Structure 1
Amino acid sequence: MELLVIRHGQSEADILEVHEGRADYHLTELGENQARKMASHVQEHFPPDIILASTLKRASRTAEILQEAIGCEISYFDELREFDNGVLAGLLRKEAAVKYPLPSGGRPAHIPIQDGESAIELRYRAEKIFQQIIYDFKETERIAIVSHGGLISNFLEAFLNLPVQAKFQFHTGDTGIHLLELKDDIRAVKFMNSLQHLKKGKLHC
């Protein structure tokens, strides 16, 4: 089984300089173009048998663009949504820094942000959906998973069997692609955060 893990394209929140998380913004025009380039690249090099996607607009639209290129089935999962950042969702970053400053030394992993989830809860959610995918789709050769930066980082930690409080963070650029393989008892990383598709031509916003 191969897992093609893909982040959504640029969203409106990137332009507005707000905390995104569970705030449900659309893709920008640039984000749509990024998604089309990603979809064309995936269709040519490693087309999936099925697409699984977050229900948030920026990811679901990216997944739809991929589906248009591939023509395969698509299923949506709330569990693939981004970190639930509670009161910060949609709030200007400057305003958030004043109204909800981080505790000295950072927020402990077990303590949720107000009206949101904790870092440990996010990791558990990523672990759960990872296990669900490899069980429910075990007969599928290649699966595309379209999600968000924070969830993807935790998903990769689950794939690599890293400790819950490991000090690792895996960056994923807009429409960045990771290719993972599970074969027998071996978990292999074929590549991470590939943005090769964005270098094939200039993007216009």
Structure 2
Amino acid sequence: MQILLIRHGQSEADLLDVHEGRADFPLTSVGIEQAKKMAMRVQEELPPDFIWASTLKRASETANILANKIGCPIKYLPELQEHNNGDLAGKPLTEGPHPSELLPHEKLGNVGETKIEFRARGEQIFSLIKKNSEEYNRIAIVSHGGMISRILESFLQLPVIHDAYFLTGDTGIHFIECNSRGRLVRFINCTSHLK
């Protein structure tokens, strides 16, 4: 099975310099154009048979643009949402710690998720998606930078605690594959459609 991991386009939170996480901001006009360019590229080169998407506006709007362009079904899963950053959601970036500053057992935003809980959620939802996508040759997962990192960690079987990280730009595409030989990374964080 081939899997496209796609991050949402620019959101209003990007312009406000606030913690996004579970704060539910929509796409900007730039984000909508980014999503349209991504959808055109995916339609031409790598059209999926099915799309799984986060329920947060910035990802669901991106996924809708892709689904409408491709003409394929879509299912929304709240488990694909970004790191639960608790009471930091929507607050200025100058407030609160960055997730990298916390120990694995410490909750982000006091009532949010720990790194361990976030990774476990990523493992669980990726397992569910793979199981429920066996009939498809290629799927797309439209989500957020943090969740895409958790899925890549799961795919690569990295330990829960490690020092590697994955950058994903606006509408960045990662292309991975599960086949009879194992796990194949075709490309990571491609944003050439935005040029």
TM-score band by shorter chain is over 0.9
d(CA) in 2 for partners of 1:92 and 1:188?
A: 39
Structure 1 residue runs of 4+, over 3 Å off?
Answer: 100-103
Q: Match of 2:52, SS? A: strand
Output the TM-score relative to the length of structure 2: 0.96
Deviation digits for residues 9-49 of structure 1 (CA, Å, limit 9, x no counterpart): 00000000100000000000000000000000000000000
Aligned counterpart in structure 2 of residue 136 of structure 1, from 132, 136, 155: 132
Q: Give 5+ residue unaligned stretches, structure 2.
A: none
Q: Over the residues paired in the alignment, what is the CA RMSD in angstroms? A: 1.4
1:126 is matched with 122
Corresponding position of 2:80: 80
Gaps of 5+ in 1: 200-205
Q: TM-score, normalised by structure 1?
A: 0.92
The CA deviation at 1:106 is 2.5
In the other structure, the counterpart of 1:6 is 6
Q: Which residue of 178, 184, 187 maps to 1:188? A: 184
For 1:27, the equivalent position in structure 2 comes to: 27
Q: Which residue of 2 aligns with 1:112?
A: 107
Residue of structure 2 equivalent to 1:18: 18
1:177 correspondence with 2:173: yes
Superposition deviation, residue 185 in structure 1: 4.7
Quick one: distance in 2 between partners of 1:144 and 1:13? 24
1:51: Cα distance to partner? Answer: 0.5
Q: 1:196: how far off?
A: 1.0
Provide closer, same or farther for how the CA distance between residues 102 and 47 of structure 1 changes in structure 2, counting only shifts above 3 A: closer
2:58 maps to: 58
SS in 2 for 1:93: coil
**One-letter code of the match for 1:157?**
E
Structure 1 residue 133: Cα displacement: 1.1
Amino acid at match of 1:179: F
Residue correspondences, number: 194
Kindly state the Cα deviation for residue 101 of structure 1 after the two structures are TM-superposed: 4.6
User: Larger Cα Rg: Structure 1 or Structure 2?
Assistant: 1
CA-CA distance at 1:6 after TM superposition: 0.1
> Amino acid of the residue matched to residue 109 of structure 1?
P
Letter in 1 for 2:107: P
* Amino acid in the other structure paired with 2:22: R
Work out the CA distance in 2 between the residues paired with 1:162 and 1:138: 23
Measured after TM superposition, the shift of residue 75 of structure 1 is: 0.2
Q: For residues 165 and 172 of structure 2, what CA distance do their matches in structure 1 show?
A: 15
Cα separation, 1, equivalents of 2:75 and 2:97? 37
Q: Which residue of 2 aligns with 1:164?
A: 160
Distance 2:102 2:26 in 1: 29
